[in-house]
Each structure stands twice: as C-alpha cells, then as structure tokens.
C-alpha cells in the first residue's frame, strides 16, 4: 500500500513538473541470442511492462535477414527497435527516428547497448512531407508521449517543448545521408498519423518495396482506419492483422477496408508486397 501511494505521488508530480528521468539497465537471457540489455526509462508515466523475448526477435526474422537495413519511425525509447535491430544484426543498419527529445535520450542509451548484435543509429527527427520544424507538445509535463504541431495550439496538450523539433522528408533524407541502403522493412508508430507518414513515403515504398508495419490507433475514426488499409493496399501490398510482436502471435489477413473495424482499441498490422 505504501509503495502504491509513493508511486501515485510520483506520477502526479510527473504530470505537473517537467524533469529528465534516467534509465536502468535490464538484462534478458534468451535461448538463441543470449544476453540482451535494455535501458528502461524511469519516468513514472512510462508504463514499460513487457520483456524482450526470443519470440520478439524471431518475429522480425520472418521479414529481415542479417545484414539488412531497416527503419523504425516513432522508435520511442527503443523497445521495438532492439528486437528489430538484432534481427538485422551488427552488419545491418537500423535507423531509429523519434522527435521527442525526452525519449530520445533513452533511445541513445539503448542504441549504445548490445553493440555486438546491433547497429542502431538514433535520429532525433520526425518524418514529414517536407523538411520543416514543429512544436513538440504533450498533455503532461514529463513528455512521456506527445505529438507535433505547426502552432502552439494543439489537441496534444498544454506542455510545449522549449525548442522546435525538426521534421524531414524520409526519401530526401535517405538520398542525402544513406544513399547506399536498400531498406527491407519500415515500422511506423506515430500515435495515429501512420497513414500520413506512409502517404509521404509512397514513392520510396514503390521503389524499394519494404515490408511495412503500422499501427491502427484507437482514437482514429473508422474512416481513417479504413483509409490506412486502402493507402497500403493501393501500393500493391497484402495486409495482415497480428496480435503481438512475437513469432507465435495470431495472424489474420485483412482483405477489405471494413476489415480494419473488426478489432477494438489500438492494434498492429503488417503488409508484404504482392
């Protein structure tokens, strides 16, 4: 009971007072990939309860082989980035984009772990139609989550990061910085804006044909959820619901826009080129 009260007070303070929180390193001993380290953010509002499992890594190995180049858009602290990066291996390249300066500090720590197994490049950028700067705005002071806005007035909340964050057009950025990379997988998780991100990189997707992973966000309208399917399907991809980032997770094909309404809440989909 005492711990509950202490944690409740910490969460209340985190909602009102902006502060930087450190991370602690957690280790997972996996059957095939050995010891994996992960930096857990100590922000009281960051609810990390999952473990990195062998099944997480093997999920990505269905699509990614060692030496591949992959992209994580909306990497957050790197909890999905690390299993993805292990699948790509130390000889591969994992570009991890996130515009949130607070989670980026932890993403950098995670990029520095498991160097014998991964090659993660953390990038403090949002992905957008054009190279542009945005306000990063959150509903609470710890910036555990948030979103981008061109103005200081936003539905994301009242807490505004002191400096603007940079957005880049992904195709242009890769042409400038990583022209040699052939991308085998792109994962997108941008709190309801996945559809717009995929639209903004549609020419790149048509050219390189990576596997796509995206999120259907619970707050999106039914029309937006159906459009997410249509945008991906129109790129000549087959779309699948999957229950979890695990090799043994339930998978179900989605064959029409209305199929996106079968599941309630936030869920993930992947898409493979036809």
Question: Strand 23-30 and strand 34-41: pairing?
Answer: antiparallel
Domains of the chain plus CATH, in order, are 2-273 (3.40.50.150)
Q: pLDDT value at position 19? A: 74
pLDDT digits (tens, 9 = 90+) for 42-67: 887 777 666 899 999 999 999 999 99
Q: Where are the alpha helices (DSSP H) in the chain?
A: 2-16, 54-61, 81-88, 101-111, 170-177, 194-200, 202-208, 222-233
Q: pLDDT value at position 195? A: 95
% residues pLDDT > 90 (the chain): 73
DSSP reduced 3-state for 237 = strand
Q: pLDDT value at position 6? A: 62
Q: pLDDT value at position 142? A: 65
What global pTM score does this model have? Answer: 0.93
Positions of the chain with pLDDT under 70 = 1-18, 48-50, 141-144, 149, 151, 153-159, 161
């Amino acid at each position: 009971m005492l711990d509950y009260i202490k944690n409740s007070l910490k969460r209340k303070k985190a909602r009102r007072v902006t502060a930087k929180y450190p991370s602690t390193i957690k280790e997972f001993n996996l059957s095939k990939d050995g010891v994996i380290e992960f930096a857990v953010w100590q922000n009281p509002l960051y609810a990390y309860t999952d473990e990195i499992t062998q099944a997480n890594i093997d999920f990505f190995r269905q699509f990614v082989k060692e030496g591949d180049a992959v992209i994580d858009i909306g990497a957050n602290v790197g909890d999905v980035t690390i299993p993805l990066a292990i699948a790509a291996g130390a000889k591969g390249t994992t570009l991890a984009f996130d515009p949130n300066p607070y989670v980026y500090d932890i993403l950098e720590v995670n990029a520095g772990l498991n160097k014998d197994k991964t090659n993660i490049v953390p990038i403090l950028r949002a992905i957008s139609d054009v190279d542009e700067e945005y306000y990063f705005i959150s509903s609470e002071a710890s910036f555990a989550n948030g979103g981008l806005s061109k103005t200081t007035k936003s539905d994301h909340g009242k807490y505004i990061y002191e400096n603007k964050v940079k957005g880049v057009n992904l195709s242009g950025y890769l042409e400038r910085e990583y022209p040699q990379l052939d991308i085998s997988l792109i994962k997108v998780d941008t709190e309801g804006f996945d559809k717009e991100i995929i639209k903004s990189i549609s020419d790149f997707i048509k050219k390189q044909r990576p596997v796509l992973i995206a999120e259907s966000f619970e707050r999106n309208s039914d029309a937006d959820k159906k459009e997410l399917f249509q945008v991906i399907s129109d790129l000549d991809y087959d779309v699948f619901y999957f229950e979890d980032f695990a090799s043994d997770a339930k998978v179900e094909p989605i064959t029409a826009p209305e199929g996106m309404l079968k599941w309630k809440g936030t869920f993930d989909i992947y898409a493979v080129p036809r």
